[in-house]
Structure 1
Amino acid sequence: MSTSMISLHSSTGSLHSLRRLPVAAALVAALWTPIAAFAQTDAYAEINRLLRAGQISEALGKVDQHLAAKPNDPQMRFLKGVVQTESGKTADAVATFTKLTEDYPELPEPYNNLAVLYASQSQFDKARAALEMAIRTNPSYATAHENLGDVYAKLASQAYSKALQLDAAQTGAAPKLNLIRSLFATGQPAAAAPAPVSVAKAPASAPPANEAPAAAEASKAPAPSAAAEAPKTPAPSTPATATPPVADNASEAVKAAVASWARAWSSKDMQAYLGAYAPEFTPTGGQSRRSWESSRRARIEPRKNIQVSINNLTVKVEGDQASARFHQTYRSDQINVSSRKVLDMVRHGERWLIVRESTGS
């Protein structure tokens, strides 16, 4: 069994920072991103400052003081789990994050941090199950996908090691085991991939989400398999003779498309919202386009009010492709959430449409 260290990315109280934590065994992943972020107040900022300064006991005191007045604040409860983790109170942190998953099953970050804690105790089956729940909750949660890959690799490493223990003459297991060990020893992709490992897929009964804010707003949204099939939005007409604008104009056009997408979401204009996605847009998590559209309707239409704000928008254009990065704040009658977002877009005639959407990048 490999003795190299693994670090899983986990979500921390700092809403915009990532940090690595060492975990026993052989993965590579991610530990700290805050709860894809509720609106911050001075209290959250002060606790994050204390954490960064290593003043753990002071941070815990501030957390407990806040929770005494607002015991159901999910962001502060999440921060408490972070502080407990930092102070080495693993059992307490597990209990805190577990209770959060019970009370707010639509939030992926507590599942992710639970997985990191389980991995630190070499409980990789529990870590896998927690990460699969995080991904079921938000299929666009890149951190959870990376962590799950690392957990699968560790489980594969254990299985290959067991095969060699049972039969030292095994010719297939040794090179695969060495490949996994070299992958985590260097932190770089290996030259060749090991033979596919069959892993359990996440059940399809949980409601997937397009991103953390949408997941948080709709904990009781129907699963894709049970949702009514919505008709696919027709592809927008694209004039064949449209002349591509110069780069500066293209950047402005992408920004305008992002703003239009946010306005359509805010006004619950489903035709315009779904029409902002290219015909070739493929939802994450293996979901069909039709099921994805149905689940988006189920999450958006019941809300009394929605406000989506875009800040710190930066755009990179390369020919007919573009990437828009920004900080998104989502507010509805049920929740107030903030997260980083990336929209990969392509030009369709004179329009820029979304082909890929990711959160927390």
Structure 2
Amino acid sequence: MTHASNALPKTLRLLALTAALLASAAWADEYSDVNQLLRSGKHSEALAKADQYLAAKPRDPQMRFLKGVIQTEAGKPADAISTFNKLTEDYPELPEPYNNLAVLYAGQSQFDKARAALEMAIRTNPSYATAHENLGDVYAKLASQAYSKALQLDASNTGVQPKLALIRELFAPTGKTAQAAARAPAPAPAPAPAPAPAPVAVAKAPTPQMSSGVVAPAPAPAAAPAVLAAAPAPAPAPAPVSTTAGSGASKDVEAAVHAWAAAWAAKDMGGYLGAYGKEFNPPGKMSRSAWESERRARIVGKNRISVKLSDVNVSVNGNKAVAKFRQAYSADALNVTSRKTLDLVKAGDRWLIVKESTGG
């Protein structure tokens, strides 16, 4: 991507959502067909096939997300913004639509809207590294605009020009930055089980793939305003629950983690919220009461919730513990699988969550 006054920073990344909500092999074929048409640059055909699919399954988030990607690639940003906005309304727990909204807004120089969308992505998933990077780029663009305005108002201010020059140099197209790429966690598995993958290399094709594991954004062509890429990563086969050397403390931590998941699935808000210690720091600088209200609204409002844990690994150090596991979350029409880490501390005879992060 080349640098221009209204161009996006080259590190601002448009990502593909990897949640594959598949009930049969036929569904997998539908996604594959749309992806193939998109990779071939047949945007009209890909959009028609996506619309045909959505006529029968209008709430399907994966195909709706793919539709937004197709609209973006086809040069229809207004349509893509509408698609991603509706996705955030129906599935506010998914960070990727917020990220892609931010990229589209930034492409229109609506940097305040881009900032707000990225803050929502990070609030939804505090460990979403790409959204953090994109937010930094948006802040830099806002700073550039502010410094330019300051120079217009006071050209004699010698302290502003070096700052403006530094930001412009930061985003100038160079060989090094043109090759930069980031990795983002994928929230759900691919449709077919497969062995756990090795680290995924940067994908060259600027199209989305259904995948699990790591999504690697790749540089777009020089004229493109944003980067769009995903690398396919087969989903690991479910592993048996395990812990570190069988101490009683490890078993107690594991039991606490499973009790937390069970309370979540049962929409038992007393048990769910009670699993978090007083030291727990809610994401996005929310107050504890605001976070609890938001969690209550999201959980109680679901018709059905399933939370299944696998590959649980617990390490204990005195009165502190870390539990890492794979979480398969299902609620109504949504299915998302991700890696999760819980930090816990012992309070009396209970192990309580003090930090929660996704990915890794």
Same fold (TM over 0.5): yes
The whole-number CA distance in structure 2 between the counterparts of 1:44 and 1:119 is: 34
Which residue of structure 2 lines up, in the alignment, with residue 96 of structure 1? 83
Superposed displacement of residue 116, structure 1: 1.0
Which residue of structure 2 lines up, in the alignment, with residue 358 of structure 1? 357
Superposed displacement of residue 91, structure 1: 3.9
Instruction: Give yes or no for contact 1:309–1:328 (8 Å, CA) kept in 2.
Output: yes
Match of 2:345 among 341, 344, 347: 347
SS of the residue corresponding to residue 71 of structure 1 reads coil
Q: Which amino acid aligns with 1:71?
A: P
Instruction: Give yes or no for contact 1:330–1:338 (8 Å, CA) kept in 2.
Output: yes
Q: Are 1:292 and 2:279 matched, yes or no?
A: no
Q: Are 1:24 and 2:7 matched, yes or no?
A: yes
The whole-number CA distance in structure 2 between the counterparts of 1:90 and 1:268 is: 38
Gaps of 5+ in 1: 7-22, 188-211, 214-244
Deviations 1:153-175 (A, max 9, x none): 21112211332344343233234
Query: Sequence identity, in percent?
Result: 55
Superposed displacement of residue 298, structure 1: 3.7
Superposed displacement of residue 261, structure 1: 1.4
Q: Are 1:170 and 2:157 matched, yes or no?
A: yes
Instruction: Give the structure, 1 or 2, with the largest relative contact order (CA under 8 Å, sep 6 or more).
Output: 2
Deviations 1:149-207 (A, max 9, x none): 321221112211332344343233234335545655777xxxxxxxxxxxxxxxxxxxx
Match of 1:39 among 9, 13, 21: 21
Which residue of structure 1 lines up, in the alignment, with residue 334 of structure 2? 336
Deviations 1:216-254 (A, max 9, x none): xxxxxxxxxxxxxxxxxxxxxxxxxxxxx9766466655
- The 5-angstrom pairing of residues 54-93 of structure 1 reads 54-57=39-42, 59-93=46-80
Instruction: Give yes or no for contact 2:314–2:321 (8 Å, CA) kept in 1.
Output: no
In structure 2, relative to structure 1, the CA distance for the partners of 1:61 and 1:105 (3 Å cut) is same
The whole-number CA distance in structure 2 between the counterparts of 1:278 and 1:38 is: 33
- The 5-angstrom pairing of residues 92-131 of structure 1 reads 92-101=79-88, 108-131=95-118
- The 5-angstrom pairing of residues 236-275 of structure 1 reads 249=247, 254-275=253-274
Instruction: Give yes or no for contact 1:345–1:352 (8 Å, CA) kept in 2.
Output: no
Superposed displacement of residue 262, structure 1: 0.7
Deviations 1:20-48 (A, max 9, x none): xxx9233634421427x463344664455
The whole-number CA distance in structure 2 between the counterparts of 1:356 and 1:152 is: 27
Superposed displacement of residue 329, structure 1: 1.5
Instruction: Give yes or no for contact 1:131–1:144 (8 Å, CA) kept in 2.
Output: yes
Residue range with higher mean Cα deviation, 268-277 or 349-358: 349-358
Instruction: Give yes or no for contact 1:30–1:147 (8 Å, CA) kept in 2.
Output: yes
Which residue of structure 2 lines up, in the alignment, with residue 326 of structure 1? 326
Q: Which amino acid aligns with 1:54?
A: R
Q: Which amino acid aligns with 2:259?
A: S
TM value normalised by structure 2? 0.62
Gaps of 5+ in 2: 178-186, 189-242
Instruction: Give yes or no for contact 2:16–2:69 (8 Å, CA) kept in 1.
Output: no
TM value normalised by structure 1? 0.62
Size of the aligned set, in residue pairs, is 285
Q: Which amino acid aligns with 1:131?
A: L
Q: Are 1:276 and 2:261 matched, yes or no?
A: no
Structure 1 residue ranges, 4+ long, deviating more than 6 angstroms after superposition? 316-319
Give the RMSD, CA atoms, in angstroms. Answer: 4.1
Superposed displacement of residue 287, structure 1: 1.9
Superposed displacement of residue 309, structure 1: 1.7
